[in-house]
Structure 1
Amino acid sequence: MINVLVLSQHSPFDDMHIRDALDMTLIFAAIEQNISWLFTGPAVLALKKGQHTDPLGLKNYFKSIKTLEIYDVENIYVCEKSLVDFNLAKSDLLINVNVLDFAAQSKLIATQHQVVNL
């Protein structure tokens, strides 16, 4: 089993970066890899409760993020500074996450066999 980190740094409404990251995470989980997902920068907005994509004409994939635990994806991380930058708390998020400072993020990245930056 290899350690794979999916790193999301883009807004949830910027192309399909978050949707692609979700798909990638579920694929690695399906083949039983040790998958982690780190949200930094505006990507943390993908985890915010109460998102509505209908006015934008986009498919609402935010509900799919809640299914990660069904696929045993438990290693979901969020950048501490990004939460502060977007005035969010853990209680504002759709799912349970681990909040990491920069040092912890660097350590997480260093322990991975593969990092997929989407």
Structure 2
Amino acid sequence: MTKVLVITEHAPYHLSSLKDALDMALIFAAVDAEVAWLFVGQSIHSLRKNQNPRILGMKDVFKSMKTLDIYDVDQLYVSQQCLEASGLTADCLVLEVKVLSSDEQSTLINSFEKVVTL
């Protein structure tokens, strides 16, 4: 089984980066890859509770993110440094994630065969 890590860096409403990352994760999961997702930079805001993208005229991708575990995409990670810089905690997020230090992120990235950064 191929191990794939999807890394997102951009804010949730930056072009279609969040939807592209979600699609990528689900496509890899559909072909029986082991998929994990790491949120760094502004992408951590993708996980904030109580978002309403419809106000901006955008599709609600966040509902689809809540179904990731159905597709066995249950390894979700967030940069501790980015979380703290944004003044957020794991309790502020809509999905259960593991918070990683910079060293842990490096270890995680090196443990995957394929890494896709969006």
* Matching residue of 1:48: 48
SS at match of 2:66: helix
* Matching residue of 2:8: 8
Percent identity over paired residues: 43
* Matching residue of 2:104: 104
Aligned runs of 1:1-118 on 2, under 5 Å?
A: 1-118=1-118
Q: How many angstroms does 1:66 deviate by?
A: 0.4
Q: How far apart are the structure 2 equivalents of 1:93 and 1:29?
A: 23
Q: How far apart are the structure 1 equivalents of 2:54 and 2:36?
A: 29
Q: How many angstroms does 1:48 deviate by?
A: 0.4
**TM-score normalised by L of structure 2:** 0.97
Q: How many residues end up aligned between the 2 structures?
A: 118
Which structure 1 residue ranges, 4+ long, deviate > 6 Å from structure 2? Answer: none
* Residue identity matched to 1:43: S
Gaps of 5+ in 1: none
Q: How many angstroms does 1:63 deviate by?
A: 1.0
* Residue identity matched to 1:67: T
Deviations 1:32-63 (A, max 9, x none): 11111000010000000001111211111111
* Residue identity matched to 1:41: G
CA-based RMSD: 0.7
* Residue identity matched to 2:66: K
Q: How many angstroms does 1:103 deviate by?
A: 0.2
Q: How many angstroms does 1:64 deviate by?
A: 0.8
Deviations 1:88-113 (A, max 9, x none): 11111111101100000000111111
